[in-house]
Amino acid sequence: MQWTTPTINNFNSSFETRHEIQAVIDNNGKIFVFGGANYINSTNLFYNDMNILDITNMTWSTQTQSQSALTYLGYTATLLPNGLIVYIGGRSGSSSYVSPTDMAQSASGSTIASRTLHSAVLTQDGNIIIYGGSIHDSSGKIAYVFSDIAVLNTNSWVWSVPSVSGTSAPPLTCHSAALYKNYMIIAFGKTSEFHPFANNIYILDIQNYTWVKNNDNPSTVQANNNSSNLYNGIGIGIGVVILAVVLFVIGLFIHKNRHKQEIIATPGTSIDDHIRETHISTIYTPGISSPAKYELTPTYGVPVPGNNYHSS
């Protein structure tokens, strides 16, 4: 595999390098990038435009906002199944923080502190879980790092703070997060202005809001459960096969015993004759009245007299 530079149609040549942005992609192959900042120039630049890249035809488009729209950076962007993009937290410009409850769609519930450079994931039941983040001083340095978890119900637009158990992850900012099944996986980030970026990974079980210990590997637990189910299935299958074989042997044994009991062996008659003759129940002989019944013998139709037979 190798990196390639695609040809973008209608690319906005005025688009500058951006920092502190987060992109989302919808089911139609459109990537949405909003706002951001440019710290390369001596004077910091902040943006409030929406840039869209359609990867199905590699076409770029830019939607400019009115001057009254906030410049926006350091937020989290979460795309809901209904097509709404939810932007949480972040800041406008260099120091004006946006409260997580200060949204175009008003949210109520628990009070969540303003922050930037936090993380967010969307659960299957429509909750957005955010973790960590930080606030910065006037010089842009990290002043405080959060370690709390907050949950936004996007059906009712209510914030809540769950009770979390287990050994928690440290305060983190500038980190990333992803959702795998019922686990929120948090990776990397910084714990303070004066500490380097870390390479640790932390896992939160979102079913019961419990931090997973290092030795409680979710994938290992899942694999063990799958292996156990596989072994159980194999055991049941083998048991069914053995039972079928046993029943077949028993049935064959009973059939042979019954078959032997129906055969009356007569000297000079072969085994094949015995088998052939067992299908005859009544034999009539000339000179003997039809009502007379005779017991079957394997001697080619020679009757054995019954109680109704009298010799002349």
CA 121 remoteness from chain centre:
15
Mean pLDDT, residues 249-257 = 60
Cα–Cα distance list, 14 to 10, 18, 49, 274 (Å): 12, 12, 12, 102
Residue 261 phi, psi (nearest 5): -65, -25
The whole-number pLDDT of residue 286 equals 47
Higher pLDDT: 205 or 13? It is: 205
CA atoms lying within 13 Å on the CB side of residue 27:
5
The whole-number pLDDT of residue 255 equals 54
The Cα 299–Cα 289 span in angstroms is 21
pTM for the model stands at: 0.68
Q: What is the pLDDT of residues 44-103, one digit of tens each?
A: 899 999 999 999 999 999 988 777 778 999 999 999 999 999 999 999 886 678 877 666
The whole-number pLDDT of residue 150 equals 98
Q: Which of 96-110, 142-156, 231-245 has the lowest mean pLDDT?
A: 231-245
**pLDDT level of residue 238 (50, 70, 90 thresholds):** low
Q: Which of 160-164, 231-235, 279-283 has the lowest mean pLDDT?
A: 279-283
Q: Which of 5-19, 30-44, 90-104, 287-301 has the lowest mean pLDDT?
A: 287-301
Task: Give the strands of the sheet with 158-160, arranged side by side.
Answer: 108-109, 158-160, 149-153, 127-131, 119-122
**pLDDT level of residue 13 (50, 70, 90 thresholds):** confident
CA atoms lying within 13 Å on the CB side of residue 178:
4
Instruction: Say which amino acid occupies 237.
Output: G
The whole-number pLDDT of residue 43 equals 81
Do strands 210-211 and 201-205 pair parallel, antiparallel, or not at all (unpaired)? antiparallel
Chain length of the chain: 312
The Cα 212–Cα 202 span in angstroms is 8
Instruction: Give the H/E segment covering residue 219.
Output: helix 218-261
The Cα 287–Cα 166 span in angstroms is 102
CA angle 248, 250, 252 (to 5 degrees): 65
Which of 194-198, 253-257, 274-278 is modeled with the greatest confidence? Answer: 194-198
Mean pLDDT, residues 261-270 = 48
Which of 10-24, 122-136, 203-217, 241-255 is modeled with the greatest confidence? Answer: 122-136
The whole-number pLDDT of residue 294 equals 39
Q: What is the pLDDT of residues 160-206, one digit of tens each?
A: 999 999 999 999 999 999 999 999 999 999 999 999 999 999 999 99
Residues with Cβ < 8 Å from 302, sequence gap 6 or more? none
Residue 114 has pLDDT above 50, yes or no: yes
The whole-number pLDDT of residue 249 equals 61
Residue 295 has pLDDT above 50, yes or no: no
The whole-number pLDDT of residue 254 equals 61
Mean pLDDT, residues 26-53 = 91
Give the bridge partners for 119, in sequence order: 131
The whole-number pLDDT of residue 293 equals 43
Residue 26 has pLDDT above 90, yes or no: yes
